[in-house]
Each structure stands twice: as C-alpha cells, then as structure tokens.
Amino acid sequence: MKNSIATFLFISLFMAGCKTSQKVPIPPTPPPPPQGIELTETYWRLTELMGQPVEKDENMKKEIHIVLKKEGNRVQGFSGCNTIMGQYEIKEGNYIKFSGMASTMMACPNMKMEGEFNKVLGAVDNYSLNGKTMTLNKARMAPMARFEAVESK
C-alpha cells in the first residue's frame, strides 16, 4: 500500500512537472507620450489677463510675453512697454513663484495693461499646462493670466 501511494505521488509530481506551460502574451510596450510643450524655453504669448482678452495695440512695440529660461531659473519677457526680467522658482505640485522682477523704465501712452501684468506676476503661486496653453493662477481662483505657446520667436 505504501508503494502504491508513493508511486501515485511520484507519477502525480512527474506529470505536473511535465505539463506544458502556457505562454502568457506580453502586451506591447506603449508608445512614449507625445512630446508636449515644455514650460521652460518656450515663448509664452499673453492671450488673456484677469479674464479679459489681450491683443497687441498700436502703441506696443511687440506682444506681451515671457520665456522661462532653464539656465539660472531666469524669466525674461516684454510687458507691453518695457522689457522685464527676474527669477522664478518651481516647486512640486506646479507651484511657481516669480521674484526679483525688474524692468526697463520706458514711458508709454498706456501703462495700464503693463501694470496689471506685473501685479499678476507678483501674485501668482501656481501654473497649469494644457497642450499649447499655460495659465498662471493664485490658489484655486480662476486663471489670472493665460498664455499660448508660440513656435519660434
């Protein structure tokens, strides 16, 4: 009886070991995500400020924009009348802070838009990217500034 039990166990183990294994198909590697617009080294043209559309007027030398440079975390741009420069800091969770902002001191006929834009840069604390659009926000309020990425300037 012991021999028959041992033989049965041996044959069962042998059969289990000989069982062909099924190959589980390995799913193909997904393609890498599409290359989106980067926050840094992109020319960001201002399209909306405090909920109002922004258009270049005849008194502006060029459109209002910013570029966040990787090197030295520098920001540079144009605020409607003057060239602006300063620094930015990015922290986890899409937090951004602009500091040490300075500008040239040109006088223009209408400085209202420039003043509002500079106030917004001093007030924002976070950003979001969606395709070719960047928004600068304060807390969970509506976007304070909306930008569109421009291919090359």
pLDDT digits (tens, 9 = 90+) for 81-124: 999 999 999 999 999 999 999 999 998 888 899 999 999 999 99
CA 148, CA 65: separation in Å to the nearest integer?
9
Query: Does some domain include residue 23?
Result: no
Whole-number pLDDT of residue 15:
56
Question: Distances in Å between the alpha carbon of 151 and those of 43, 104, 132?
Answer: 7, 26, 10
Tell me the pTM: 0.74
Query: Does some domain include residue 81?
Result: yes
The kind and range of the H/E element at 8 are helix 2-18
Question: Distances in Å between the alpha carbon of 28 and those of 22, 31, 32, 87?
Answer: 18, 9, 12, 43
Confidence check: pLDDT of 38 > 60: yes
**Comparison of pLDDT for 11 and 95, the residue scoring more:** 95
Confidence check: pLDDT of 43 > 60: yes
- The 10s digit of each residue's pLDDT in 129-143 is 999 999 999 998 889
Q: Identify the CATH number of the domain in which residue 116 sits.
A: 2.40.128.270
Query: Does some domain include residue 54?
Result: yes
Query: Does some domain include residue 5?
Result: no
Query: Does some domain include residue 19?
Result: no
Residue 115 corresponds to which tokens in the numbers above? 């003043």
**Comparison of pLDDT for 129 and 1, the residue scoring more:** 129
Residue 153 corresponds to which tokens in the numbers above? 């300037």
Number of domains the chain contains = 1
Confidence check: pLDDT of 53 > 80: yes
Ranges assigned E (strand) in 39-124: 43-49, 52-53, 65-69, 74-78, 83-91, 95-103
Mean pLDDT score, 35-53: 92
Residue-range definition of the domain harbouring residue 87:
43-150
Whole-number pLDDT of residue 49:
97
